[in-house]
Structure 1
């Protein structure tokens, strides 16, 4: 990948940068679970760092690093995910026209007992991302809702 394509891919991640509040809705509790999410540039702006904290013991805190995928058109990324349970995962990530997707359908550092995908959509002013996580237990043939999560920007006006 040439440097101009890489630079453009990194620039496309800029809408994430900042602090967000998160509200997730899980089946195991009627109350929403709240947390925070911060995106910052790391290692000279070559990686986007994602740090999340959650106010519920059943939901893990996490750190992720997003990098530009070496192959593709500059809209493809890789998210390396680590959480407070000791889980390590690798997600393929895209960002196209305000839609953020994460997909894990291959074994990586953690056994693949089920596939996961996230789809989130930025609202028109970029201050809210409404999304949902889904699971598949049949290799991605069918997907079932896991939980909904909404992020609201805290810092930019």
Structure 2
């Protein structure tokens, strides 16, 4: 039986053309990096998100597992990427808005996105002063390519 709160995330399930843009760390300015994201159910109470950006030697991969703590009435996200980075995020998903946040000792980070039927527009931000000021790391746009079965 699918977890009722996680069932609300069903709109994310599918295949998505993904574009990273406006990244402060990439040259030349304005460079767009294409990619692909797959979001699938993992059992009845988890979502598995796999993203690949770039190609060949410049390709990067990251994965998320989205779950829920019913006792805490909260979504939880575990993140890992091909650099060996592992992080935990708190998550909200309501009224067409998706956020993931972490407030860890190394730095604070957040993902903020607006969700449409076949498009997600979001951006990642970071703060090295415990959330006093934020810098945008990059934009991410997801365009649905295949509806879930």
TM range (shorter): 0.7 to 0.9
In the alignment, the residues of structure 2 paired with residue 36 and residue 9 of structure 1 have an alpha-carbon distance, to the nearest angstrom, of 26
Could you tell me how far 1:146 is from its partner in structure 2? 1.2
Could you tell me how far 1:10 is from its partner in structure 2? 1.4
In the alignment, the residues of structure 2 paired with residue 72 and residue 15 of structure 1 have an alpha-carbon distance, to the nearest angstrom, of 23
More strand by share: 2
In the alignment, the residues of structure 2 paired with residue 59 and residue 98 of structure 1 have an alpha-carbon distance, to the nearest angstrom, of 30
Write out the 4+ residue segments of structure 1 that deviate beyond 2 Å after TM superposition: 56-60, 69-73
Residue 55 of structure 1 is matched in structure 2 by 54
Q: Does 1:80 align with 2:93?
A: no
- Bigger mean CA deviation after superposition, 88-97 or 64-73: 64-73
Could you give the per-residue CA deviations for residues 77-107 of structure 1, whole angstroms, max 9, x where no partner exists?
111111111111111111010100010112x
Residue 116 of structure 1 is matched in structure 2 by 109
Q: Does 1:151 align with 2:142?
A: yes
SS at match of 1:141: coil
Could you tell me how far 1:58 is from its partner in structure 2? 5.5
In structure 1, runs of 5+ residues without a counterpart are 107-111
Residue 16 of structure 1 is matched in structure 2 by 12
TM-score by length of 1: 0.83
Say which structure, 1 or 2, has more relative contact order (CA 8 Å, 6+ apart). 2
TM-score by length of 2: 0.87
In the alignment, the residues of structure 2 paired with residue 104 and residue 72 of structure 1 have an alpha-carbon distance, to the nearest angstrom, of 16
Alpha carbons of structure 1 residues 90 and 58: separation in structure 2 relative to 1, 3 Å? farther
In structure 2, runs of 5+ residues without a counterpart are none
| Count of aligned residue pairs for this structure pair | 143
Could you tell me how far 1:156 is from its partner in structure 2? 2.3
Give the superposed CA RMSD.
2.0
In the alignment, the residues of structure 2 paired with residue 82 and residue 154 of structure 1 have an alpha-carbon distance, to the nearest angstrom, of 24
Alpha carbons of structure 1 residues 55 and 86: separation in structure 2 relative to 1, 3 Å? same
CA contact (8 A) 2:54 2:60 kept: no
CA contact (8 A) 2:36 2:52 kept: yes
Alpha carbons of structure 1 residues 128 and 78: separation in structure 2 relative to 1, 3 Å? same
Residue 109 of structure 1 is matched in structure 2 by none
